[in-house]
Amino acid sequence: MKKKNLLQRTILIVVITLIGIYIVIGPRHRPTLHDFTWSGIKANLAANIKLGLDLKGGSHLVMRVKTDEVFKNLTLNDASAIQTIAKEAGFPVKEVKAETTGGNYRIILESTDASKLNDIEEAVKKKVDLSEWTASPSGNTIVWTLPASAQTTIAEQATEQAQRIIESRLDAVGVAEPLVQRHGSHSSHQILVQMPGIQDPERVKQLLKAESKLELVHVVSPPSPAPVQTYNTEEEAKASLGGTVPTNRRVLPYADRNEPTAGGQASGEQNQPPKKWVIVESPAIINGSELRSAAATQAQGGGDSYQISFALKPSGADKFGAWTGANINEYMGVVLNDEVKSVAYIKGQIHDQGEISGRFTKQSAEDLALTLRSGALPAPIEYLEERTVGPSLGADSIRSGVRASLVGLILVVLFMLFYYRGSGVNAVVALILNMILMLAGLIIFQATLTLPGIAGIILTIGMAVDSNVLIFERIREELRSGKTIPSAIEQGFARAFVTIIDTHVTTVISSLFLFVFGTGPLRGFAVTLILGLVINLFSAVYVSRTIFMWELSRKRKMESLSI
Amino acid sequence: MIQVFKDVKVDWLANRRVFIAISVLLMLAGLGSAVVRQWAPGGTEAFNLGVDFKGGTVVTVRFKQRPSAEAIRDALAASGASDAVIQPVIDKPDVVLIKIPLAGTSDAESQAQIDLGRSRVRTGLNKFGTEGDAYEIIGTDAVGAVAGAQLRNKAIAVTLAALVGILMYIAFRFEWTYGAAAVIAVFHDVLVTLGFFSIFQWEVSLTVIAALLTLVGFSVNDTIVIFDRIRENRRLHRRQSLYKITNDAINQTLSRTVITSGLVFLSVLAMVLFGGEVLRGFSLALLIGVIFGTYSSVAIASPIMVWWEQRIAAASKTSATVANRSATGAARGPSTGGRQPLPSGAGNRSRGAGRA
């Protein structure tokens, strides 16, 4: 009976060990002779274990979508649309105001004739999609407010859209195996991007961040052949509009300036030609969503100067063609990210072609074309966290981590063998099995091994051996109190087991909190520690017990126990 | 058989005043350092918070021929980054960390500062030769002010939540007095360790928080081993006082305590010495934590538990003579209603104290 039990236990342990070894160093392809050589084992190990960015090198970016900008733009656009429609329909409108401060977004329409309010509201509703807004007419004003529930939905949509655009940009620029996911609580509108081993993190960072909001607008100016109307300061431009900018006008900077390369140099520190300002009509004739294609092409002057040629979708081309046809000799501006890049006068009807000139380099023109093709971000994004680890730093970290683990392991093994003699071998076997199964666990659960994760492994070495110390000390005590060897072993395990469970559960509790609520590095640490502790219940208790049983069964009567 | 301790008979609880005085002094020293540093004009802050918690940029640079820290500082100051801190890496002579703190608090400001800081570091470093030739930027960490504050609050919340979780588990497995004593001891360990970080101005980063949580687990481990033994001994020796039982339990588990702590200490020491710069804060925190975690299980958790249990026992004794049994049960909670010792079971609680 005893013998059979022992056999079962031994078979179970051997099978689990072999499976563990296979998972850790076994190939994921048909095995060849090479898989049994040292270099083959190393290659398989490297292929099986997923390393974190801090160990293999790469970039980790946390960004936030500035959702309040979405509300602001929505408010301003809808306000100007309401004004245009109400005026075109000939309603008595005194003014349309947009309020975008303090988290409140409101459009206020004031009419001179209170009796026409309902008609105005109906007329506007037909032409502008105001489904998110709540309208409340009173006196001679209509106030549209954006309720909190609508804000939540819009912000959520914007974040999802930003995430899709970021994914397509990463894809277009050729980043291998990027990870894009939501980060933190949903209402924080954060996106996490992890890119392993990229060459130029700065460039990718700028590419992801590029708003690439393209608009074609009507520049308010006397028609050609007079030069386009520009102003030297923003105030000057505003003054020409009578002090305040009406809802259907925008004052935008206009500068024919050098584009910073997306490779990084902050544009603020470069010498730029002085900015000028122009007044444009709002809303734009068409925007970037009507874009069919965009590509970097060499500018007509040739040389190092580049421009972006774009083509419009049929719907956009119709709109654009109709407008240009009606506005020959007027000025049109190409606006990128709220800055007028170029102004051209309309010689004849244009349908679906256009270009953005602005002295781009080849790289910056290609990057801009790429971001234009992927679409404009619904709102600007800002980086909250950026961490980049070069491959050489990662390799250093692996080296120090492995070295520290080995030194710790060797010290512990030497002590156990010295102090507990024969039984120390039990502990050492248990410890090594624990290491193998922990790595196997990491691979099974597809968890990434990070530097704090290695720290968790080192700590597991210390804590795993504690179980053996507890058991051995207990067995010694029982022996001292005069028990026979088999019953001392039995009692030692039984008594120590209660303690081991309690200590393991408390540590798992604190690690679970780290895992569930912690961020990046904290989680990697918690994963290895939890895995190590759970496996330890098997290796330090079950396996070690089986080795003792095995020793007992070999001799009919055991005279002494090496402990 | 080699043994660290043979049949120890130390009266640990007799020294409890000394132990508690030492701990209070240590905690006051740490607290004093934090308070003085925080409020003394022109001084440093209570803790040397890393970029994880404060926001800012760390650029890791590997030089072919490392210039002196002075030379790097001068070069950076010339390019406008005069507030940069230059920190050589101990075990890698060619690597330098350049830290640029954040001045603003709003996110927009910090974003601009991060970009500006980094371009200034590049400009400054270019004085030593071109990038990729004379030097190489092997890593950057940039955290905005808001993200830093988020990470900080999260770390504090996680630590406190873990403590509550442990308290509940021990209360469930033992008694709430045991749980409270263990948590007080652990809290003490965290405070003392943080005190060291304030006094020596070691950098507090995210990994240090992980170390603190590990230390929480480790210290509670030690305490539980002793408490488990107390629970067991109370079942075996009903007539002994809690005072004696506790002393015996500490003595019986002493070899295990010393061996385990010694082994964990060794593996953590290996981490301090060989684990590299990134893990240094983590391993330093653990090194201190292991020492105080072991100490507090013996010197803080056990005395507090005994003192508490004795007070409860004394209170129930006086009230039992004055009032009837139901009042006693109410005062001591429903789980302790039965005062007759039960034969066995985890929920059993024989009031050894005051019974000897």
Same domain membership, residue A405 and residue A374: no
- The mean pLDDT of A371-395, rounded to a whole number, is 85
Angstroms from A523 CA to nearest CA on chain B:
9
Q: Which of A388, A413, A443 is the last residue of a domain?
A: A388
Asked whether residue A40 carries a pLDDT value surpassing 80, the answer given is yes
Indicate yes or no: CB of B256 within 8 angstroms of CB of A469.
yes
Query: Tell me, what amino acid is at A32?
Result: T
Indicate yes or no: CB of B217 within 8 angstroms of CB of A511.
yes
Range of the domain at A119: 69-149
Please give the class, per CATH, of domain B12-33+149-336. mainly alpha
User: Among A225, A143, A210, A141, which residue's Cα sits nearest to residue A173?
Assistant: A210
CA A256 – CA A345 distance, rounded (Å): 16
Q: In what order do the strands lie in the sheet with A353-360?
A: A291-298, A306-312, A353-360
Instruction: Report if pTM > 0.80.
Output: no
CA B67 – CA A121 distance, rounded (Å): 72
Q: Which of A124, A149, A174 is the last residue of a domain?
A: A149
Q: Which residues of B touch A495 (CB under 8 A)?
A: 232
Asked whether residue B115 carries a pLDDT value surpassing 60, the answer given is yes
Give residue limits of the domains in chain B. Answer: 12-33+149-336, 56-136
In this structure, is residue A163 part of a structural domain? no
pLDDT value at residue A442: 93
Asked whether residue A139 carries a pLDDT value surpassing 90, the answer given is no
Angstroms from B40 CA to nearest CA on chain A:
31
In this structure, is residue A512 part of a structural domain? yes
CA A152 – CA A282 distance, rounded (Å): 26
Indicate yes or no: CB of A458 within 8 angstroms of CB of B218.
no
In this structure, is residue A489 part of a structural domain? yes
- The yes/no answer to whether this complex scores an ipTM above 0.85 is no
Indicate yes or no: CB of B1 within 8 angstroms of CB of A462.
no
In this structure, is residue A131 part of a structural domain? yes
pLDDT value at residue A262: 39
Per-residue pLDDT band for A551 (boundaries 50, 70, 90) equals confident
Span of A212-221, A265-274, A306-315 with lowest mean pLDDT = A265-274
Same domain membership, residue A414 and residue A545: yes
- Which percentage of chain A shows pLDDT scores above 90? 21
Category of A328 on φ-ψ map: left (φ > 0), alpha (ψ -120 to 50) or beta: beta
pLDDT value at residue B106: 55
Question: CATH number, domain at A98?
Answer: 3.30.1240.20
Asked whether residue A435 carries a pLDDT value surpassing 50, the answer given is yes
Q: Which residues of A touch B143 (CB under 8 A)?
A: 384-386
Q: Which helix (H) or strand (E) holds B37?
A: helix B16-39
Out of A382, A509, A510, closest to residue B107 by CB: A382
Asked whether residue B333 carries a pLDDT value surpassing 60, the answer given is no
Query: Tell me, what amino acid is at B50?
Result: G
pLDDT value at residue B355: 39
Asked whether residue B30 carries a pLDDT value surpassing 60, the answer given is yes
A486-505 residues touching B, CB cutoff 8 A: 495, 498-499, 502-503, 505
Same domain membership, residue A431 and residue A339: no
Indicate yes or no: CB of B147 within 8 angstroms of CB of A385.
yes
Instruction: Give residue-wise pLDDT tens across range A56-105.
Output: 888 889 999 988 888 988 898 888 888 888 887 888 888 888 888 888 89
Q: How many CB atoms lie under 10 A from the CB of residue A562?
A: 11
- The mean pLDDT of A224-248, rounded to a whole number, is 82
pLDDT value at residue A272: 52
Per-residue pLDDT band for A469 (boundaries 50, 70, 90) equals very high
CA B38 – CA B18 distance, rounded (Å): 30
Distance of CA B203 to the CA centre of its chain: 14
In this structure, the dihedral spanned by the alpha carbons of residues A510, A515, A516 and A519, taken in order and rounded to 10 degrees, is 120
Same domain membership, residue A511 and residue A409: yes
Q: Which residues of B touch A515 (CB under 8 A)?
A: none
In this structure, is residue A519 part of a structural domain? yes
- The mean pLDDT of B144-164, rounded to a whole number, is 82
Same domain membership, residue A515 and residue A456: yes
Per-residue pLDDT band for B57 (boundaries 50, 70, 90) equals confident
Same domain membership, residue A406 and residue A357: no
Same domain membership, residue A321 and residue A267: yes
CB neighbour burial string for A389-414, b if at least 16 within 10 angstroms, e if fewer: bbeebbebbbebbebbbebbbebbbe
pLDDT value at residue B322: 65
Q: How many CB atoms lie under 10 A from the CB of residue A342?
A: 17
In this structure, is residue A32 part of a structural domain? no
Cα separations in angstroms, B31 against B23, B26, B34, B131: 12, 9, 5, 45
Same domain membership, residue A139 and residue A256: no
- Number of domains making up chain A: 3
pLDDT value at residue B110: 62
Nearest CA in chain A to B172: A502
Q: Is residue A467 a contact partner of residue A500, using CB atoms and an 8 Å limit?
A: yes
CA A384 – CA B356 distance, rounded (Å): 63
CA A105 – CA A132 distance, rounded (Å): 11
Same domain membership, residue A460 and residue A408: yes
Per-residue pLDDT band for A185 (boundaries 50, 70, 90) equals confident
CA A377 – CA A198 distance, rounded (Å): 23
The more confident residue out of B161 and A561 is B161
In this structure, is residue A36 part of a structural domain? no
Same domain membership, residue A379 and residue A423: no
CA A63 – CA A180 distance, rounded (Å): 11
Asked whether residue B326 carries a pLDDT value surpassing 60, the answer given is no
Please give the class, per CATH, of domain B56-136. alpha beta
Asked whether residue B282 carries a pLDDT value surpassing 90, the answer given is no
In this structure, is residue A374 part of a structural domain? yes
CA atoms within 13 A on the CB side of B115: 21
Residue written as token pair 């005994």? B306
Asked whether residue A260 carries a pLDDT value surpassing 60, the answer given is no
Query: Euclidean distance between the first and final Cα of chain B, in Å?
Result: 36
Residues 6+ apart with CB under 8 A from B32: none
Report the mean per-residue pLDDT for chain A. 84
Per-residue pLDDT band for A274 (boundaries 50, 70, 90) equals low
Per-residue pLDDT band for B352 (boundaries 50, 70, 90) equals very low
Indicate yes or no: CB of B263 within 8 angstroms of CB of A412.
yes
Q: Is residue A216 a contact partner of residue A390, using CB atoms and an 8 Å limit?
A: no
Same domain membership, residue A281 and residue A345: yes
pLDDT value at residue B111: 66
Same domain membership, residue A347 and residue A245: yes
Residue written as token pair 């056999």? A7
